[in-house]
Amino acid sequence: MAGIEPQPGIMEIALYEGGKSSVAGVSNVVKLSSNENPFGPSPAAQEAVKRVVHEMHRYPSTDHAELRAAIAEVHGLDAARIICGVGSDEVLQFLCHAYAGEGDEVIHTEHGFAMYKILAHAVGATPIEVAETERVVSVDNILAACNDRTKLVFIANPNNPTGTMIGLAEIERLAENLPPQAILVLDGAYAEYVEGYDGGAQLVESRGNVVMTRTFSKLYGLGGMRVGWGYGPKEIIDVLARIRQPFNLSNVALVAAEAAIRDTAHVEKSREDNSRLRAWLAEALAEHGVPSDASTANFVLARFTSPDEAWACDTYLQSQGIIVRRVTGYKLPAALRITVGDEASCRRVAHCIGLFKAGAR
Ligand code: PMP
């Protein structure tokens, strides 16, 4: 209606496109489009959900004390500096909501996660896109883009959809040289897949301007439960807590996450299988003439010779019941992102890409 207008920035938002989960007319689909754990959730998480299902009429915990304690124990962190959200997306949203608004700038990288731009627009701030170097985040480019309006800098490490990452020394250099009013947000949605990487937890401990975000949606196999968390300086976490809805996480989600993080056997198996199958998949694709970037996460970015070829391959894969992710919106039109599935799915997608390269359409 004339006169009724949304807040500034809202109409700039391009709707987020999630990974498809079905293809019309095709049954027995292999879904490799959303970086989910192919081994599913921990059996302990499923049992925990069954135990609380009869309590659906009860409101959940408002302070998430038990889940925060479990996260703190497993990661060696201070529970008082953890905040939980409906997926890590919600924690990213808290950060934008609390720290950015009209006239402010929010930095994200060229091939960075799509939500950064959406969330910046949603609060009326201006997203600033910074070029990467050969699909790797460039600290120099980010620092060159900073100014006195910069409020948040988002980097995913490992990055989605490239799978690449930068080292802690580079991240530290970035944090060190940011303008004083800016927060560095280290999105560690895939951090658990990297042996020996703490997602930036140590950096959070040593600095006042870094927040780390993590998720239960990937390695822990709980994408459908929507649980994520953030870790940061106490002053920042206290600010975020003021805008969090008191009952943001359901009681089933809370117990599932707590059980999942304590099931170290499931976590270890998922991590090991992912490393092995990721290496296998990357090599099998390379043998078929499809190179990929050195991924550190649970997906590979398969590179084709042109956008047309990537598009044709995706169409062929769909006709074979395999769903991967087009990443055109991430300025990678000649690439397809393929989640590392279980062994049968990896074999199937590699086989079909081989057939496609050999001329099948
Ligand atoms: N960050 C990155 C880099 C992601 O790829 C994703 C999921 N696609 C998220 C954050 C959000 O995940 P969730 O909200 O499920 O925790």
Give a yes or no: residue 323 inside a domain.
yes
pLDDT score for 361: 82
Using the mean position of ligand 1's atoms as its centre, give its distance from the Cα of residue 361 in Å: 33
Are residue 20 and residue 80 in the same domain, yes or no? Answer: no
Are residue 326 and residue 237 in the same domain, yes or no? Answer: no
Residue pLDDT, tens place only, 93-128: 999 999 999 999 999 999 999 999 999 999 999 999
Give the contacts of 286 (CB within 8 A, at least 6 positions apart): 292
The count of domains in the chain is 2
**Ligand 1 atom with minimal separation from the 218 CA:** 15
Judge contact between 341 and 30, C-beta under 8 A: yes
Whichever domain contains 292, its CATH number is 3.90.1150.10
ipTM of predicted assembly, 2 dp: 0.99
Are residue 30 and residue 52 in the same domain, yes or no? Answer: no
pLDDT at 225 over 90: yes
Alpha helices in 3-64 (DSSP H): 43-52
Residue pLDDT, tens place only, 307-359: 999 999 999 999 999 999 999 999 999 999 999 999 999 999 999 999 999 98
Residue pLDDT, tens place only, 157-194: 999 999 999 999 999 999 999 999 999 999 999 999 99
Are residue 220 and residue 327 in the same domain, yes or no? Answer: no
Are residue 328 and residue 348 in the same domain, yes or no? Answer: yes
Q: Virtual CA dihedral for 196, 198, 200, 204, nearest 10 degrees?
A: -130
Q: What is the mean pLDDT of residues 272-292?
A: 98
What is the DSSP pairing of strand 210-215 with strand 183-187? parallel
Give a yes or no: residue 1 inside a domain.
no
Pick the last residue of a domain from 247, 262, 277: 262
Tell me which residue range forms the domain holding 202. 43-262
Q: How many CB atoms lie within 10 A of CB 268?
A: 11
3-class DSSP state of 231: strand
Which residue has its alpha carbon closest to ligand 1 atom 1? 189
Are residue 194 and residue 311 in the same domain, yes or no? Answer: no
pLDDT at 235 over 90: yes
Residue pLDDT, tens place only, 120-153: 999 999 999 999 999 999 999 999 999 999 999 9
Whichever domain contains 257, its CATH number is 3.40.640.10
Give a yes or no: residue 224 inside a domain.
yes
pLDDT at 1 over 70: no
Q: What is the mean pLDDT of residues 289-303?
A: 97
Give the contacts of 274 (CB within 8 A, at least 6 positions apart): 193, 219, 298, 340
By most ligand atoms within 8 Å of CB, the mutation choice from 187, 220, 261, 295 for ligand 1 is: 187
